[in-house]
C-alpha cells in the first residue's frame, strides 16, 4: 500500500529541475536564476499548474564543479524524473550534462549566451548565439566608436575560446591585421589583474583606438573591473564591452569608475516596456526585496519556461518526444516588448542591445537592432561550420546537416 501511495503522490505533480550553481565561483551569476525559476513555477501554480497538476521545483547545487553538473543532471532525470530542466551557465557545464540529457532523452533549457557550434535535439538554447551578441558588439565598436585594435580577454574555457576564434576570423575578414588583435585567457576565479590590465593599457597605447571584448566569467569580473578603475582605464580611452556582465554582477561593484563601459545582451532591466515593468514588480514582490536586479539570463528563463508551458499544453503531455516536437514554432512575449519564437534549430529570435554602464549599476541602451535576430547555431566565419545547418523537424531531424555533402554528421559537434 505504501508503494501505491508514493507513486500516486509522485504523479500528482510535474517536476521541474533547476540545475544552477548556488556555491563556488559561478554562484554570483547563477543563484538569481534559481530564484527566478522558483518565481515562474510559483506563478504558474497560481494559474492552476499545468495539465491540471501542480509544478514542483527540484533544486540541486552542482557547486560550480563541472563533473558534478553531470551527476546532478543524472539524478534529476533518473531519480527525480523531472519533465524539464532549466540550468547551466558556463559552456563547460552544458558540455558536461549534454551526454546525460541525450542518453536519458531529457529536456534542457540553457539560458546564457554561448559560443554556438552546437545543436542538440535535447537542448533549447534561449541565450544568445554569437550572431546575437558578439558580432553585433564588434560591429558597434568598429562603426560607432572607430575601434582599430582589439583585446579579446576571456576566462580559459570553451565559450571564450570558441567565441574569440569566431571573432578573430570575423575581424580579419573585416581587414584587421593580426598584430592589432591581442588574445588573453585567465583561469576561473582569477583575482590578480594588475599585470593583465597593464598589458591592456600598453597594447592600447599604440595610437589606434583600442577596445576590450570581455568574455571573463563569474566572480573574476569583480577584481577585473576594480583593477581597470585602479589603473585609470576609462571608457573614453579603452572601452570594455562585456558579454557576461549584467546587472547582477554590477550590483557587487563600485560602478563609478566603470561608467561608460559597455555590455552587449538581449535585455536590460532598464528597458521601458509594460511587460518588463510587470516582471520587475513581480520579482520584487516574490523576493521581498526592491533592490534585487533583473538581467538577461533571467529573461531567457522567462521566455524558455513560458515556451515549455505552451509546448506541453500543445502536446497535451509531458512526454519529452512530443514536447520537443511541439516546441518548434512556439512564440511567447519577451520582456523588451516583442515576441520571441523557437526556431527549428532550437535557438530563438531575440533583439540585440548594447548598453552603457551607469553610476547606479544599471545599463542604458545606446544601440539596438531594429528587429529580432534569429540565433545562428553554426558560425558563418569558421571553415568547419559555415556549410552546416540545424533543423530538428522531420524528415531532416539533424543538428549539423552539411549543405555541401548533403549528409547529417550526427546529433552534436562540439568544437573546443
**Locate cell 553531470: which residue?**
70
Is 164 contained in some domain?
A: yes
Residues 117 and 20 reside in one and the same domain: yes
For residue 110, the SS3 value is strand
Three cell numbers written together for 279: 516582471
Closest CA to 214 of 170, 237, 183: 183
Residues 166 and 227 reside in one and the same domain: yes
DSSP 23: S
**Residue 317: CB atoms within 10 Å:** 14
Q: Which of 241, 265, 289 marks a domain boundary?
A: 265
- Cα–Cα distance measured from residue 347 to residue 119, given in angstroms and rounded to the nearest whole number: 9
Residues 184 and 283 reside in one and the same domain: no
Is 39 contained in some domain?
A: yes
* Residue 393 · residue 407 · CB < 8 Å: no
pLDDT score, position 23: 98
Residues 73 and 43 reside in one and the same domain: yes
Is 398 contained in some domain?
A: no
* Residue 235 · residue 334 · CB < 8 Å: no
Residues 125 and 151 reside in one and the same domain: no
Q: Is the pLDDT confidence value at 174 over 70?
A: yes
- Cα–Cα distance measured from residue 67 to residue 63, given in angstroms and rounded to the nearest whole number: 10
For the chain, the distance separating the N- and C-terminal CA atoms, rounded to the nearest angstrom, is 52
Give this prediction's pTM: 0.91
Residues 200 and 306 reside in one and the same domain: no
pLDDT score, position 320: 98
Q: Residue 254's domain is classified under what CATH number? A: 3.40.50.2300
Three cell numbers written together for 71: 551527476
Check residue 311 and give left, alpha or beta (phi > 0: left; psi -120 to 50: alpha): alpha
* Residue 355 · residue 367 · CB < 8 Å: no
Q: Which of 265, 291, 321 marks a domain boundary?
A: 265
Q: Grade residue 409 by pLDDT with cuts at 50, 70 and 90.
A: confident
Q: Which of 265, 298, 326 marks a domain boundary?
A: 265
* Residue 350 · residue 306 · CB < 8 Å: no
Number of domains in the chain: 2
* Residue 82 · residue 15 · CB < 8 Å: yes
pLDDT tens digit sequence for 196-241: 999 999 999 999 999 999 999 988 998 999 999 999 999 999 999 9
Residues 260 and 275 reside in one and the same domain: no
Is 380 contained in some domain?
A: no
Partners of 339 in the β-ladder: 333
Q: How many CA atoms lie within 13 A of 349 on its CB side?
A: 18
Residues 151 and 261 reside in one and the same domain: yes
- Cα–Cα distance measured from residue 39 to residue 23, given in angstroms and rounded to the nearest whole number: 20
What's the Rg (C-alpha) of the chain? 21
Is 336 contained in some domain?
A: yes
pLDDT tens digit sequence for 254-298: 888 889 999 999 999 999 999 999 999 999 999 999 999 999 999
SS (H, E, C) 282-340: HHHHHHCCCCCCCCHHHHHHHHHHHHHHHHHHHHCCCCHHHHHHHHCCCEEECCCCCEE
- Cα–Cα distance measured from residue 182 to residue 188, given in angstroms and rounded to the nearest whole number: 20
Is 73 contained in some domain?
A: yes
Residues 97 and 139 reside in one and the same domain: no
Is 230 contained in some domain?
A: yes
Q: Containing domain of residue 91, as a range? A: 2-129+271-374
| Strand bridging mode 398-402 / 13-19 | unpaired
pLDDT tens digit sequence for 331-349: 999 999 999 999 999 999 9
- Cα–Cα distance measured from residue 414 to residue 346, given in angstroms and rounded to the nearest whole number: 16
Residues 160 and 259 reside in one and the same domain: yes
Is 409 contained in some domain?
A: no
- Cα–Cα distance measured from residue 345 to residue 181, given in angstroms and rounded to the nearest whole number: 32
102 contacts: CB under 8 Å, gap ≥ 6: 120, 121, 122, 411, 412
pLDDT tens digit sequence for 10-26: 478 999 999 999 999 99
pLDDT tens digit sequence for 76-92: 999 999 999 999 999 99
Cα angle, residue 125 at apex, residues 142 and 63 outer, rounded to 5°: 100
Percentage of the chain surpassing pLDDT 90? Answer: 90
Residues 190 and 115 reside in one and the same domain: no
Residues 136 and 260 reside in one and the same domain: yes
Amino acid at each position: 500500500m505504501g508503494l501505491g501511495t508514493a507513486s500516486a503522490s509522485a504523479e500528482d505533480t510535474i517536476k521541474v529541475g533547476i540545475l544552477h550553481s548556488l556555491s563556488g565561483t559561478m554562484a554570483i551569476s547563477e543563484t538569481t536564476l534559481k530564484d527566478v525559476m522558483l518565481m515562474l513555477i510559483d506563478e504558474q501554480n497560481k494559474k492552476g499548474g499545468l495539465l491540471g497538476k501542480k509544478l514542483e521545483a527540484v533544486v540541486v547545487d552542482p557547486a560550480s564543479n563541472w563533473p558534478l553538473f553531470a551527476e546532478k543532471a543524472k539524478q534529476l532525470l533518473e531519480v527525480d524524473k523531472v519533465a524539464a530542466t532549466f540550468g547551466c551557465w558556463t559552456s563547460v557545464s552544458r558540455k558536461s550534462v549534454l551526454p546525460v540529457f541525450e542518453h536519458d532523452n531529457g529536456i534542457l533549457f540553457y539560458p546564457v549566451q554561448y559560443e554556438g557550434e552546437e545543436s542538440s535535439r535535447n537542448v533549447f538554447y534561449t541565450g544568445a548565439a554569437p550572431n546575437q551578441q558578439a558580432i553585433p558588439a564588434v560591429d558597434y565598436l568598429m562603426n560607432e566608436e572607430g575601434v582599430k585594435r582589439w583585446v579579446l580577454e576571456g576566462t580559459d574555457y570553451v565559450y571564450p575560446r570558441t567565441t574569440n576564434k569566431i571573432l578573430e576570423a570575423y575581424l580579419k575578414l573585416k581587414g584587421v591585421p593580426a598584430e592589432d588583435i591581442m588574445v588573453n585567457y585567465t583561469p576561473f576565479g582569477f583575482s590578480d589583474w594588475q599585470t593583465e590590465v597593464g598589458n591592456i593599457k600598453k597594447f592600447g597605447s599604440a595610437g589606434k583606438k583600442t577596445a576590450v571584448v570581455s568574455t571573463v566569467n563569474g566572480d573574476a569580473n569583480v577584481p577585473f573591473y576594480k583593477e581597470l578603475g585602479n589603473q585609470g582605464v576609462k571608457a573614453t580611452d579603452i572601452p570594455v564591452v562585456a558579454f557576461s556582465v549584467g546587472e547582477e554582477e554590477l550590483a557587487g561593484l563600485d560602478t563609478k569608475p566603470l561608467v561608460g563601459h559597455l555590455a552587449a545582451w538581449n535585455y536590460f532591466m532598464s528597458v521601458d516596456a509594460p511587460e518588463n515593468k510587470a516582471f520587475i514588480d513581480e520579482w520584487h514582490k516574490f523576493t521581498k526585496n526592491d533592490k534585487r536586479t533583473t538581467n538577461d539570463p533571467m529573461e531567457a528563463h522567462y521566455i524558455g519556461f513560458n515556451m515549455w508551458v505552451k509546448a506541453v499544453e500543445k502536446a497535451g503531455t509531458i512526454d519529452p518526444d512530443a514536447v520537443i516536437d511541439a516546441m518548434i514554432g512556439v512564440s511567447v512575449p519577451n520582456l523588451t516588448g516583442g515576441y520571441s519564437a523557437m526556431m527549428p534549430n532550437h535557438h530563438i529570435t531575440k533583439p540585440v542591445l548594447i548598453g552603457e554602464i551607469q553610476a547606479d549599476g544599471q545599463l542604458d541602451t545606446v544601440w539596438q537592432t531594429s528587429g529580432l535576430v534569429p540565433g545562428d547555431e553554426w558560425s558563418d566565419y569558421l571553415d568547419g561550420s559555415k556549410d552546416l545547418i540545424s533543423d530538428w523537424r522531420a524528415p531532416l531531424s539533424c543538428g549539423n546537416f552539411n549543405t555541401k555533402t548533403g549528409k547529417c554528421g550526427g546529433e552534436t559537434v562540439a568544437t573546443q
